[in-house]
A and B are shown apart, each in its own frame.
Chain A
Amino acid sequence: RKEVEQDPGPFNVPEGATVAFNCTYSNSASQSFFWYRQDCRKEPKLLMSVYSSGNEDGRFTAQLNRASQYISLLIRDSKLSDSATYLCVVNWGRRALTFGSGTRLQVQP
């Protein structure tokens, strides 16, 4: 089983739609969680941390479910500029973060 698993997509959605991605992780001792965004042929950039109580940043909402070992990212009112690959990232006390292979989102006009 992969340490961090994501649906590769692509998710093709129209502008204005709401879209959600899930990510599952294998290690129950995982301590911290993040979503990164990576544009085509660019470096990953931190989008948001994920907190136990869930957190929101504008149109983006992140949730954590420790019992089921998954995190989610919800994007409301999708923009064309949201088109990218979204990377789920987990840290279980190792020295470095563990990245999922990403979910590709394509927002269409």
Chain B
Amino acid sequence: ETGVTQTPRHLVMGMTNKKSLKCEQHLGHNAMYWYKQSAKKPLELMFVYSLEERVENNSVPSRFSPECPNSSHLFLHLHTLQPEDSALYLCASSQELGQPQHFGDGTRLSIL
């Protein structure tokens, strides 16, 4: 039973759609992260938040827009995505920045 919950588990969308991925952590952690995992590639860090403040943005295209309304919730807003954006999107949290992270189950995203 993970303390980090992601919804939806699977998402299929067209390139012109707008959707959002949601992440909620029940661990009382202060830091949250979005990662992208494509087939046969290492985890790619996308965004880092600490106490609701974005502290890192790793050259992610603007079609991905994060939002952290409070320390327990993290969103990833998607619009006009490309087929190469199809991947597993993982949310993680940690007590503080740089500490071991707990991951959610991920959202498997497919762009048609």
Contact = CB atoms under 8 A, between A and B. Distances in A.
Interface of A: 4, 32, 34, 41-46, 49, 87, 91, 93-102
A67 B48 CA distance: 31
A87 B45 CA distance: 15
Given A95-B50, A95-B56, A96-B45, A45 B97 contact: no
B42 A101 contact: yes
B103 A99 contact: no
B105 A42 contact: yes
A49 B100 contact: yes
B66 interface: no
Given A46-B100, A94-B98, 9 more contacts: A34-B100, A41-B88, A43-B106, A44-B103, A45-B103, A95-B50, A96-B56, A97-B101, A101-B41
Interface of B: 2, 31, 33, 40-43, 45, 48, 50, 55-56, 88, 90, 97-98, 100-106, 108
B97 A95 contact: yes
A74 to B, nearest CB: 20
A95 to B, nearest CB: 4
A97 to B, nearest CB: 6
28 contacts: A34-B100, A41-B88, A41-B108, A42-B106, A43-B2, A43-B90, A43-B105, A43-B106, A44-B90, A44-B103, A46-B100, A49-B100, A87-B42, A91-B98, A95-B31, A95-B48, A95-B55, A95-B56, A95-B98, A96-B97, A96-B98, A96-B101, A97-B101, A99-B42, A100-B42, A101-B40, A101-B41, A101-B42
